[in-house]
Amino acid sequence: MRAAPANPPIYNIEKIRGDFPALQELMRGKPLAYLDNAATTQKPQAVLDVIQNYYVSSNANIHRAVHLLAQRATEAYESAREKTRQFLNAERASECVFVRGTTEAVNLAANAYARPRLKPGDEIVVSAMEHHSNIVPWQLVCQATGARLRVIPMNNRGELIMEEYEALLNEKTQIVSVVHVSNALGTVNPVREIGRMAHEHGAVFMVDGAQAVQHMRVDVQELNADFYAFSGHKLYGPTGIGILYGKHEHLESMEPYEGGGEMILSVSFEKTTYNDPPHKFEAGTPNIAGAAALEAALDYVMSLGVERIAAHEKRLLEYAHETLSFNRRVQLVGTAAEKASVISFVMDSAHPHDIGTILDSDGVAIRTGHHCAQPAMERLGVPATARASIGLYNTTEDIDALARSLNKVAEIFG
């Protein structure tokens, strides 16, 4: 095992780890090395406090009543929307729609934007490394409209083949929807270039940013994305809250995805008039506490600086790749030149689930399986991988614990 990097720390990692109660827990009597951040991140105390405080001092429904609790709840909800606008550098807060997470965001765009517009023979382009959440909604739209789903291939390193992507684009291409960072491989896709090429052919461009916003600065205006989606729980916020960013002109032209309270201006049995975006897409009582806690998570990340977080994680990713290279039984899956956060691997004779079980006995938490990216696994010739994924609070000690436990796996299955 090599020595830890001698570079000065980018931030006070011990202080930061102290902000996360879960990291103080022992797992099976051992310190927790939490390396499953691509599945969900742990939450800082500041986020947990906001959730509790909301229910203690601001619990009311929003946009409807004039009493003080309702005013507080509404202010917290809309303040979170404005903070999201700042975080993404959206032009307007109204371009940020609250949803349950990335999955609902893609389904909203697919059903409210794409389905009414597509016709037989139209084409939707996705990539070979997509999460199922950015495949299945488009398949359903294709079944309903007669459109065709086309796939950008990738090479053995887990990188999209851009020449093949260019060849896919034509006058039938209506939508291109790709992942910013692969959850299974860690590949960082050239989304700005992908979007530029999509727009040159008149297509609408959507980005699944579930694995990106916590690792790098995202500017939706700079990317010129028509839609961008992310989940709060992968960004140190709570589950059940996420964002669909959409350009104003698109949201304005879209029909509602769901009907109910809040998304209307007036209702009669003869006719209903819909509310303006984003409220048009937020039917019913939303996750108000989740939105307020998302703002706290964004504040936390922004206070550290996304660029500093990215630099810290880049060091750890390099350290992990070098450290694991000493174990000849470990074979990395996904070796793109541009990567973020994820180390996916397999081992001779040891099934990923066995790897995960042994690591768990040592207090090391990773993910095993196909990671809801079965087409990517099939393309690379593996049914499943073990995946370690890095967050802002991880350390070289976490990587060392991973490496020691993998040595144990090699001995057991030797």
Cβ atoms 189, 160 nearer than 8 A: yes
Q: Which of 262, 267, 263 is nearest to 254 (CA)?
A: 263
Cα separation, 248 vs 252, in Å, equals 6
Which of the residues 168, 372, 382, 410 is marked catalytic?
Answer: 372
Number of neighbouring beta carbons within 10 Å of residue 12: 9
Residue with tokens 């990671």, as numbered in its chain: 371
Cα separation, 310 vs 314, in Å, equals 6
Residue 96 known to be catalytic: no
- What are the CA-CA distances from residue 17 to residues 25, 32, 41, 45, 50 (Å)? 11, 11, 13, 10, 19
Secondary structure (DSSP) of 209-223: -TTTTTTS---HHHH
- What are the CA-CA distances from residue 278 to residues 175, 220, 255, 379 (Å)? 22, 17, 12, 38
Residue with tokens 């048009």, as numbered in its chain: 280
Cα separation, 128 vs 373, in Å, equals 9
| Catalytic positions, written as ranges | 372
